[in-house]
Amino acid sequence: FNRGKYKGRIFIAANHSTGNPQPKFADYHAHGFYTDDHGKTFKLSASVNIPGSNESTAALLPGDVLMMNSRNQQGDIRRRIVSLSEDGGTSWHTSYFDYTLPDPVNEGSILTIKHNTIAFCNAADTAKRDNLTLRISKDGGQQWDKAYTVDKSTPGYEGDFTAYSDLVKISDAIIGVLYERNHYREIVFKIVNIR
């Protein structure tokens, strides 16, 4: 957290399983660790209340709101799970499926660009890991105003083409995307101009 009430807090998105393995990964839950003393001690956040939530990433929104974005390991709803916290990631006041963010049960990445503008990247396909898409929201993730295709397979390609990704802010107008490509044979870095 680089501003606001929780300035200096470090939040690490995480996940865990509870008890014995359950059908459709219902034992999986997203949560987080946070520290207010630069890592000397850590506390555990509450778990996201949607079974199967895991492989999460988080971004800070205005008003001290933390957004965590998770995949749905159950795969029954092929959309991203969004959870919001108003207490610095200690608990989640709401969690829901964002139906504007399709996902094939894959990792995604989120990044605060500035103030209320955030970027989200994932394989935006519900059938397979493909169609890597960078989305931009100017209202803290309520709507995704722009979408940029970073990479996708050509017709006839079999298997997963684009998969895990990570984002880096180069400037307010330029985002770097590092991602897996061509059935996990390549790691590619691509620059996307979002103006």
Residues near 42 by Cβ (< 8 Å), separated by ≥ 6? Answer: 33, 34, 35
For residue 57, give the nearest of 141, 143, 156 by alpha carbon.
Answer: 141
Residue type, 90: T
Which pLDDT belongs to residue 57? 97
Rounded Cα distance between 166 and 19, Å, is 31
First-to-last alpha carbon distance for the chain, in angstroms, is: 26
Tokens 């897996």, residue located:
180
Rounded to two decimals, what is the model's pTM? 0.95
Which pLDDT belongs to residue 33? 98
| C-alpha dist (Å) from residue 158 to 28, 71, 95 | 29, 23, 34
Rounded Cα distance between 108 and 142, Å, is 17
In this prediction, the residues of the chain whose per-residue pLDDT falls under 50 are none
Q: With beta carbons less than 8 A apart as the criterion, state whether 30 and 81 touch.
A: yes
- What SS3 class is residue 23? helix
The pLDDT tens digits for 132-147 are: 999 999 999 999 999 9
Both tokens of 66, joined, read 């933390």
Which pLDDT belongs to residue 145? 93
